[in-house]
A = this chain, B = another copy of it.
Amino acid sequence: MTDVSFPIDDRNQVKRLSKRAHYGRATLYPILDAAMLCHIAYVIDGQPFCTPTAFWREDDTLYWHGSSASRMLRNTGDGVPVCLTVTHMDGLVMARSGFNHSINYRSVMAFGSAQRIDDPAHKRRAMDAFVERFFPGRNALLREPTVQEVKGTAILAMEIEQASAKVRAAPPGDDEDDFALPVWAGVIPLRTVVGARQDCPRLPAGVTPMADVTRYETGRVVDEVFLQTHRLNDGG
């Protein structure tokens, strides 16, 4: 294990197929930064919930947002434990036995406590950072948020206490005796790509998109755009 950035214990240790496990920022962060969507697990009265939401990372802190009214935010804003997971599905791995079928993927589970950001100035900075993280240059083009909008938005922050990544990126791992079988085996790759932009039906004549939008060029793999925009914000 060459790179361990966070303590490993029972909570974040990968139990199954530990050869696929990683614990270092150098592996964890590009997986997080190539995504906009995460799933967050939290508990209310013993009942687990798994909520999808948009998130972003700054250093060792993960941020996500939503209306102040949402169940998740009412219940995860006061230092309660959460697990934030990001998964990229990269391919279907077709083997010679059912047992050896698999998926190529990159995933991160990050553990910590969600804290609500209540200070309006801090919250406003985070709202701007959210837009800018995915669409660098866009804040300058938008109207200012209203006081009511800042009030109606809840932003949560979680410092990563522990995390682990699991990655599979390989051809089928068949049993030695199976390789000769006369059945096709290999990988069916998957990728999430940008489609053709759709103008708002009420777009005024003559308004054209700037780099914040055109960077999401038709056909580009969106993971790569998300990684690029993260790095633009990170000074990279």
| Contact A203 B178, beta carbon cutoff 8 Å | no
Q: Which of B172, B197, B201 contacts A188 (CB 8 A)?
A: B197
Instruction: Give the residue name and chain of the B residue nearest to A178 (CB).
Output: B143
Q: Which of A157-194 touch B at CB < 8 Å? A: 171-172, 174, 178-194
Please report the C-alpha to C-alpha distance between residue A215 and residue B213 in the assembled complex, in whole angstroms: 34
Please report the C-alpha to C-alpha distance between residue A151 and residue B81 in the assembled complex, in whole angstroms: 34
| Contact A99 B200, beta carbon cutoff 8 Å | no
Q: A39-B41, A39-B87 are in contact. List 15 more A-B contacts (CB 8 A).
A: A37-B89, A41-B83, A43-B46, A48-B48, A92-B216, A96-B142, A142-B183, A184-B208, A184-B210, A184-B213, A185-B200, A186-B203, A187-B198, A189-B197, A190-B192
Q: Please indicate the chain B residues that have their CB under 8 angstroms from the CB of A105 in the complex.
A: 52
Interface assignment of A139: CB less than 8 Å from any CB of chain B: yes
Q: Which of A198-228 touch B at CB < 8 Å? A: 198-204, 207-210, 213, 216, 222
Please report the C-alpha to C-alpha distance between residue A197 and residue B138 in the assembled complex, in whole angstroms: 38
| Contact B97 A149, beta carbon cutoff 8 Å | yes
Q: How many residues of A contact B (CB 8 A)?
A: 97
Interface residues of A (CB under 8 A from B): 11, 15-17, 36-37, 39-43, 46-52, 54, 66-67, 69-71, 81-85, 87, 89, 91-92, 94, 96-99, 101, 103, 105, 107, 109, 111, 127-128, 130-131, 134-135, 138-139, 141-143, 145-146, 149, 152-153, 171-172, 174, 178-204, 207-210, 213, 216, 222
| Contact B199 A195, beta carbon cutoff 8 Å | no
| Contact A190 B200, beta carbon cutoff 8 Å | no
Please report the C-alpha to C-alpha distance between residue A23 and residue B176 in the assembled complex, in whole angstroms: 48
Given A99-B149, A149-B99, A186-B203: A48 touches B82 (CB 8 Å cut-off): yes
Q: How many copies of this chain does the complex contain?
A: 2
Q: Please indicate the chain B residues that have their CB under 8 angstroms from the CB of A146 in the complex.
A: 99
Given A186-B200, A200-B172: A39 touches B50 (CB 8 Å cut-off): yes
Please report the C-alpha to C-alpha distance between residue A101 and residue B192 in the assembled complex, in whole angstroms: 20
Please report the C-alpha to C-alpha distance between residue A163 and residue B101 in the assembled complex, in whole angstroms: 29
Please report the C-alpha to C-alpha distance between residue A161 and residue B30 in the assembled complex, in whole angstroms: 37
